[in-house]
Chains A and B, each alone.
Chain A
Amino acid sequence: MIPSICKRRGGALAQIAGACLLAAASQLSISPALAQSEEAPAKLKDAPAAPTKRAPAATPAPVAPGAPAATTAVPYAGRTSITVKGGEFKPIPVALPRFRAAAPSDEPLAIQISDVIAADLARSGLFTVIGGPPLDSIGVPPDMKAWAARGASALIAGEALLEPDGRLGARIRLWDLALSEQRKQLRFLAAPYGWRRVAHKIADIVYTELTGEKPYFDTRIVFVEERGPKAKRTKRLAIMDSDGENVTYLTTDQNLVLTPRFSPVSQEITFVSDASGKPEVYLLNLKTERQERLGVFPGMTFAPRFSPDGERVVMSFTKGGDTDIYILELATRRKRRLTSSAGIDTAPSFAPDGSKIVFESGRSGGQQIYVMDSDGSNQKRISAGPGSYGTPVWSPKGDLIAFTKRLKGKFHIGVMRPDGSEERLLTSSYLDEGPTWAPNGRVIMFFREPRSSKGTPKLYTVDVFGRGERHVPTPHGASDPAWSPLLGK
C-alpha cells in the first residue's frame, strides 16, 4: 500500500480532454469500435452475480468516451495507488491472473487479452505484474489474503468470451487487496478484431485507477518506416498501436516523407513529402486516403503541426534561404507570417491551450528555444544552457516542453518548464531526436539513429523523469513518431 498525493487536473487539461473527446468520436476508421459500460460496484459482502452466464447480446449503453478518466475518484489515503509526481517511486505490484475463458473455445482470446494488458502495465514502468492461472470465477471476491501474501497490492479479475452474435465480450473487476474492496467493475463489447483495443482499454482503466494519471495505452502512433542503409534509405508513412502492433502503411516508399503529425480533432495527418521535387507540407485524410499539398508557397515548407483546435497548421516556410514560421488556416487556406528573424526559425509547436507557440531559432547564434504568443508577438528565448536545442514540443498537460538537445557531440531528449527552468536531460546517444508526448503528458516517445551506416533508427519511450527507457518494436527501422490523442470509444 503506497500513499497517494494525486491531484485533480487544471484548466489546460480540461481542454485537452475536450479535444480527446472530439477525436474519439471520429476515429473509428483507424481502429475498431468498442463499447464499454460500468457495472454497479459490488461490495465485498454483496452476493455475487452469476459470473459465467453469457452477457445479453444487446449492446449496453456505452459510457461517454473518456469516461474512465472522468469517473476516477481522487484516491484517499489507504487506497492502493502510486505517487508518480516525483523521480522516486516503487512500482506497484498488480496481480493479473489469466482471464477466465467463459467457454473452452474462448481460451485463446482470454490468453491474448491477458498478455496485452500485462505488457502494457509492465511497459509503463509503474507496475510489476504477478501472473497466475485463471480464477474459478470472477463473480466472487478473490482470495485476497493469498494474493496479498504473494506481494500484490491490487488484482485484476477478468473474463473473456465470444458472444453468440460473434462479438467479443470482456468483464473485469479491479480489487484493492490492501482494503479488500472492489475499485472498478466494467464490461466491454467489441468486434472480435478489436480485442487488442479492449485489452489496451482495460490496461488504461487499471493505470488510471491506480495512478490517478490520465491513460495512454489505447492510442496509435504514426511514424516513418525506414529501410536500407543510411545512404540508400527508403521511407514510408506507417501507423500502429501504441505497443507497436497492427502496423499499416499510408504511403509507398517512392518519396521522401518526414515528420507526420496527428490532427488532435480529426482523422487527418500533416507531414512533409518531396513528391513535387522539393519538401512541402501535405495533409492526408485517413478515411478518404486523399492527400493534398497544404497551401501555395513559393518555396519549401516543412515542420508542420496542428493547432490544438485542429483548425490551423503552423509550419516553416523557406524563401531566399531564410526560414520563418507561418500559420495556415485550414478552412480558408489563408496564411500569416509569425516570425521574421534572419536566423533559422523552425519546429513550431502549440501550447495545449492554443495561446502560445514554442519554436527553435538561431537568431542569437546557435539554435535555442523561444516562446511567442500565437499571433507572433512577445517572442522570448527560454533556453539558457550550453549546447544547441531543437524540435521543442509542448506537453499536452502544458507543464513541460520536450526538446532535442545537442551537447558535446551527443544528442539528448530533455524537458524544461515553459519558462525554461528545471531543464533535465532524459536520454543520451549518438542521435536521439524528435520527442512526441503520450496524451497524458507523462511518457515521451522519440527515435534513436545508430552510429552505424547500416543500422536503421528505432523508437523508444521514456518517462518525464528519464525512467524506464524502452524500445518500441517495429517491423523495420522507424523514426519521427507522433502520438495520437486517446482513441476513446
Chain B
Amino acid sequence: MMTINALLRGAAASAVLFGMVGCTSQPDIAPDATGKPAAPAGASDPSSPEYFRVTVGDTIYFTTDSVDLTDSARAVLDQQAVWLAANPKVKVRLEGHADERGTREYNIALGARRAQTVSTYLISKGVDVTRITVVSFGRERPLTACPREDCWAQNRRVRTAPQ
C-alpha cells in the first residue's frame, strides 16, 4: 500500500508520459476519408511511431453504439498489421473510446469491446497476442467536444498506440 502522496508522485510521472503521447495524437485534425491527417515533417522513417501514426493511420472510428469494424476501419487495420509485421519488436496498446452519449460505466465497457474487436482483428492478421494490451477510457478522453454527431463520431474510436 502507498500513501496518497506517494501514489500521486508516481502518478505525476505517468501523467507526463501521457501528456507526451497526447501531443502526438493530433486531437484537432479531423480524419479525412482515409483517416490519415496530413503528414508532418519527421515521419519519413517507416519504422518510426510518427510514420505509423501519420502514414499507416493509428486510429479507427465506429458508428453510434457499435463495436463492428467498418470497411475503412478494416483497411486501416490491415495496414497496421503490415506495419507491425515489419516492426516485430513493437508492442501496441489498443485504447478504446466512446462518445459522450452514454453513461460513464457503460462507455468504459463499450470502449473495451471496441478495443477487443480491434485486438481480435489484428491477431487474425498475424499479430502475436503477446504484443497487444487493451484498455478503455470510455468517454473520458474525447478528442473533440462539440455536441454534434460529427464530433461524437471522432470520439468513437480505437487508437493503436505503439509502446
The interface of chain A, by Cβ under 8 A from chain B, is: 229-231, 233, 250-252, 254-256, 258-259, 274-275, 277-279, 284, 288-292, 299-300, 302-303, 316, 318, 320-323, 344, 346-347, 360, 367, 388, 390-391, 404, 406, 430-431, 433-434, 449, 451-453, 480
> What would 30 A/B residue contacts be, using CB atoms closer than 8 Å?
A230-B100, A230-B145, A231-B143, A251-B8, A252-B8, A254-B11, A258-B104, A275-B10, A277-B135, A279-B135, A288-B3, A290-B1, A290-B3, A291-B2, A291-B4, A302-B108, A316-B105, A321-B115, A321-B116, A321-B120, A323-B108, A344-B113, A347-B106, A360-B105, A360-B106, A388-B102, A390-B102, A433-B104, A434-B104, A480-B104
| 6 additional A-B residue pairs with CB within 8 Å, beyond A318-B108, A391-B103 | A278-B135, A288-B3, A289-B4, A292-B2, A302-B105, A321-B120
Considering only residues 7-21 of chain B, those with a C-beta below 8 Å from chain A are 7-8, 10-12, 14-15
Instruction: Bin the interface of chain B by size.
Output: 35 or more
The distance in angstroms between the C-alpha atoms of A319 and B27, with both chains bound, is 28
Q: A300-B135, A452-B147 are in contact. Are A390 and B100 (CB under 8 A)?
A: no
Q: A230-B142, A251-B4 are in contact. Are A279 and B11 (CB under 8 A)?
A: no
The distance in angstroms between the C-alpha atoms of A279 and B5, with both chains bound, is 19
The 0/1 profile, CB within 8 Å of A marked 1, for residues 44-87 of chain B is 00000000000000000000000100000000000000000000
The distance in angstroms between the C-alpha atoms of A404 and B104, with both chains bound, is 11
Asked whether B140 is an interface residue with its Cβ less than 8 Å from the other chain, the reply is: yes
Contact indicator B15/A367 (Cβ below 8 Å): no
The distance in angstroms between the C-alpha atoms of A346 and B110, with both chains bound, is 11
Q: How many A-B residue pairs have CB under 8 A?
A: 132
Contact indicator A254/B146 (Cβ below 8 Å): no
Shortest beta-carbon distance, A246 to chain B, in Å? 19
Name the contact of A449 in the complex, choosing from B15, B100, B112 (C-beta under 8 A).
B100
The 0/1 profile, CB within 8 Å of A marked 1, for residues 117-146 of chain B is 101100000000000001111101111111
Contact indicator B145/A300 (Cβ below 8 Å): no
Contact indicator B117/A321 (Cβ below 8 Å): yes
Give the residue name and chain of the A residue nearest to B113 (CB). Answer: A321
